[in-house]
Amino acid sequence: MAKPKIAFFDFAGCEGDQLQIANLEERLLDILGHVEVVSFREVATGHSDDYDVAFVEGSITRPEDEIRLKEIRKNAKVLVALGACAAIGGINCLKNFLAENVYREEVYGGQARWFSTYAARPLKSVVKVDAEIPGCPIDPTEFARITKELLLGRSPWIPDFPVCVECKQAGNVCRYEMGRMCLGIITRAGCKAACVSQGAHCWGCRGLVPGANLDAARIVMDRPGTSRKAIQDLLRFFLGDTGAAL
């Protein structure tokens, strides 16, 4: 069987996810040994439109992005959203809460009218996405696992439960018991509760868990010592494209 051809693409984002993949180093050689990479800017130059799997990073922020993304969708058998920006819109969606003239001026200054831009959105708002590798940045071990599952013809699995599960597995003291906020209660697991284990709290970078109880979460977060503003800011940080952000 011919090796499947894979390609990487990016839209509005920092290419941090492709960098995470490059960081797999020796493991990358083994995994990419099963495929033919036709386009990967972080590692090699060159490009081709002949590919089976497209890993797409970044969110859609301009009307002309849609045309390019639909083209990629047409060429690819499998389209994988790579990272928070592609999978859930991510921090790019922060601008959706500002008036257009405000963010245009902020980003492009005097040249604002030369650039086209519209509300930031995840890939799935424009095309069908076959698999998501969420996170900001992605967890390289999850990328490796999902790629292998695709290669083996299995349907790729990502956790469908909240970060709290992995946080309890790690044995962390819950942030709420320390009088702090945390979005682990509504965020999809898969990062091994990385931020909590490192002493911070969950920001929601992996997107909402299916069936997230947002009403309950708002009540849980609204405790003495936290302001409504702080709750809103946290919910908008990564989850701007979801029903969580009001």
Partner 1 sequence: MTTYTVYKEQLPGLFEKWSESYALYVPAKLREGFYDLVPWKRDLEIAWDFDVAYNSPKRFLFPPREALITFNRKTCEAEPVFEAPPQILFGVHPYDVKAINQLDQLLETGSPDQNYVRRRAATVVMGYEPLTVSPTAFWASVGAASAAHGYDLYWTKIGPAAFTVEVGSARGEELLSMCGPLVPSTAGDKEGARRAKARVLFKARHNGLRYNWEETPRLLSKSWDSPLWRRYSQMCLACGSCNLVCPTCYCFDIREEADDQLEEGVRYREWDGCMLESFAKVAGNHNFRPKAQDRYRHRYFRKGKYIYDKIGELGCVGCGRCVRACTAGIANPLKVFNELWEETAHEH
Residues binding partner 1 (CB under 8 A): 27, 30-31, 34, 144-145, 148, 151-152, 157, 160-162, 164-165, 168-171, 173-174, 176-177, 184-186, 210-213, 216-217, 219-220
Q: Which of residues 162-191 bind ligand SF4 (CB under 6 A)?
A: 163-164, 167-168, 172, 174-176, 182, 184-185, 187, 191
Q: Which of residues 13-42 bind ligand SF4 (CB under 6 A)?
A: none
Contact present, 244 and 220 (Cβ < 8 Å): no
Contact present, 166 and 189 (Cβ < 8 Å): yes
Contact present, 158 and 210 (Cβ < 8 Å): no
Could you say whether residue 193 binds ligand SF4 (CB under 6 A)?
Answer: yes
Residue 197: strand, helix, or coil: helix
Residue by residue, DSSP assigns 67-88 as HHHHHHHHH-SEEEEEHHHHHH
Distance, in Å, from the CA atom of 42 to the CA atom of 209, rounded to the nearest integer, reads 30
Residue 7: strand, helix, or coil: strand
Could you say whether residue 202 binds ligand SF4 (CB under 6 A)?
Answer: yes
In the bound complex, what is the minimum distance in angstroms from residue 154's beta carbon to partner 1? 9
Residues 6 or more apart whose Cβ sits within 8 Å of residue 10: 18, 41, 56, 57, 58
Tell me whether residue 48 or residue 169 sits nearer to partner 1 (CB atom): 169
Interface region with ligand SF4, contact rule CB under 6 A, candidates 95-103, 153-161, 194-202, 223-231: 194-202
Could you say whether residue 226 binds ligand SF4 (CB under 6 A)?
Answer: no
Residues that bind ligand SF4 in the complex, under the rule CB under 6 A:
135, 163-164, 167-168, 172, 174-176, 182, 184-185, 187, 191, 193-196, 202-206
